Amino acid sequence: MKKYKFKIKLLCLCLVSISFSQKILIPMDQTQNDHLKSYGIAYYALKRNINVEWLLNFQGGSFLIDSQSSIKAECKIRGVTFIEINNEVLEIYSTIEKNNMDIVLLEKAPKIAIYTPPNKQPWDDAVTLALTYAEVDYETLWDEEVLNNGLDNFDWLHLHHEDFTGQYGKFYRNYHNAPWYIDQKNRFESLAKKYGMASVHEEKKTIAKIIKNYISNGGFLFAMCSATDSYDIALSLEGVDGVHSVFDGTPVDRNLSNKIDFSKTLAFKDFSLYTDPMIYEFSDIDYPPSHNPITRGAEADYFSLFEFSAKYDPVPTMLTQNHVPVVKGFMGQTTGFNKNMIKNHVTIMGEDPASEQAKYLHGNFGKGTYTFYGGHDPEDYQHFVGDPPTDLSLHRNSPGYRLILNNILFPAAKKKEKKT
């Protein structure tokens, strides 16, 4: 009998050894050749129903995938560093258990949408660049699709560099005679009229409310630059005219400041609006302000990522995975967020410790979540209208772009029971 028990134990050990011998580790520390395309490999696996283990805080947030020839081939084609491991898996699991690390199982590739206008804009969008470079599938939609319940088909939504206040990006002072500006204005006004709305700002507020409902029902929202503060401003001005007459032909409501409803916003509170069309700024949420920027220069501008408890706070830990704790700053129409105007329930994940600027925020609303990231392009410090798009093959290890791509895998995570 003892002989049979010994054989059974030996067989079990062999099976365990085999199960741990066929893994691919994609390191996400400084040894990785292409961090951005590594996310694409994880997405590639999920699309083919291959689970991915996200090793939070282990070698920069590495990925562990069952070894398959197709995965290895894709890594080689895309220039992604990978390591074939055998019994080292047990050692990795042990290290994770003993340290501020955790394992998150990614099970299903999220369906991704980018909210972006159909006509070409004289600027580019960092998320579109990141997804295209990483070879992650996405679809685009615009107001008509949103108004016709198009968001129901997607798990994750990114808001393109957008102005939800109906002021055409506050570009009036410098560009109101530019052909692209006039074309944009005409398109937006025609669309509002088509759906029976008196103004563009009314139509944009309707879009903002639909997106808020999308989040409440379990959607994941990611927004950058002006799509962050202008979105909350739009929510706060329901039924209120908060734009100058050059935009809608009607005056701003009297006592506007008393009519802002902060209870309807997601992330921001107690802000004041700039309604002057000659001021390139929406409100005092933006820090430093676009119309009076405090420029330290690219060499001196950085923000720090918070370190969270991986086992107790897995969500912000996922969203801050990186191979460096300090990330280069970058500007935008909305560069960052004034800490004094952030609601108490919002988690600050990245900040400039030397100023009042928060750079990277996350919060929950209903069954869903939202993430706001200040700035326009993590690898173009001061991006201007008409500048050429960033070539990400020159920035394949960009920490700033990694923060964007963390967000696309977040919806794929299997939910764990909260420990707090």
Q: Domain check: are 90 and 167 in the same one?
A: no
| CB of 158 closer than 8 Å to CB of 115 | yes
Taken in order 55, 59, 60, 65, the sign of the CA dihedral is negative
Q: What is the pLDDT averaged over residues 79-107?
A: 96
Q: What is the pLDDT of residue 6?
A: 41
Asked whether residue 90 falls in the same domain as residue 125, the answer is no
Same domain (yes/no): 10, 130:
no
What one-character DSSP code corresponds to residue 378? Answer: T
Q: How many domains does the chain have?
A: 2
**CATH code of 252's domain:** 3.40.50
Summarize the confidence of residues 238-249 as an average pLDDT: 95
Same domain? For 52 and 129 the reply is: no
d(CA 74, CA 213): 38
Tell me phi and psi for residue 389, to 5 degrees. Answer: -65, 150
Q: Which of 53, 86, 106 is the last residue of a domain?
A: 106
- Distance of alpha carbon 246 from its chain centroid, rounded? 33
Residue 417 pLDDT class (50, 70, 90 cuts): low
Distance CA 367, CA 220 (A): 9
Residue 79 sits in the same domain as residue 159: no
Note whether 39 and 87 are same-domain residues: yes
Confirm if 137 and 163 have CB atoms less than 8 A apart.
no
Asked whether residue 23 is domain-assigned, the answer is yes
Structure letter (DSSP) for residue 418: -
Question: Judging by DSSP bridges, how do beta strands 347-351 and 337-338 pair with one another?
Answer: unpaired
pLDDT of residue 289: 84
User: In this structure, is the dihedral angle defined by the CA atoms of residues 375, 378, 380 and 384, taken in order, positive or negative?
Assistant: negative
35 and 146 within one domain: no
CATH number, domain at 61? 3.30.70.790
Of 89, 106, 123, which one is at a domain's C-terminal end? Answer: 106
Residue 118, pLDDT score: 84
Closest by CA to 235, choosing from 211, 218, 219, is: 211
Whether residues 120 and 164 fall in one domain: yes
Please tell me the predicted confidence (pLDDT) of residue 385: 80
Q: Are 132 and 19 part of one and the same domain?
A: no
Residue type, 150: G
The answer to whether position 304 is within a domain reads no
Q: What gap in Å lies between CA 188 and CA 11, rounded to an integer? A: 68
Are 234 and 361 members of one domain?
yes
322 versus 300: the higher-pLDDT residue is 322
Establish if 416 belongs to a structural domain.
no
Tell me whether residue 262 is in a domain.
yes
Q: Clarify whether residues 116 and 98 are in a common domain.
A: no
Residues in Cβ contact with 71 at an 8 Å cutoff, skipping those fewer than 6 apart: 24, 41, 44, 45, 50, 65
For the ranges 48-62, 288-302, 375-389, 403-417, the maximum mean pLDDT occurs at 48-62
Domain that holds residue 89: 2-106
What CA–CA distance (Å, rounded) separates 151 from 147? 9
Task: Judge whether 168 lies within some domain.
Answer: yes
Rg (CA), the chain: 23
Asked whether the predicted pLDDT for residue 324 surpasses 60, the reply is yes
Query: Rounded CA gap, 371 and 378, in Å?
Result: 16
Q: Is residue 32 part of a domain?
A: yes
Determine contact, residues 223/115, Cβ cutoff 8 Å.
no
Global pTM value: 0.93
Residue 237 lies in a domain: yes
Least trusted range by pLDDT, from 2-16, 137-151, 284-298: 2-16
Residue 299 pLDDT > 90 = no
Structure confidence at residue 177 as a pLDDT band (50, 70, 90): very high
Would residue 249 count as lying in a domain? yes
- Inform me whether the pLDDT recorded for 377 exceeds 50: yes
Q: Does residue 120 share a domain with residue 42?
A: no
Which residue intervals of 265-409 are DSSP H helices?
Answer: 314-319, 399-409
Average pLDDT over residues 91-112: 97
**Strands 139-141 and 112-115, sheet pairing:** parallel
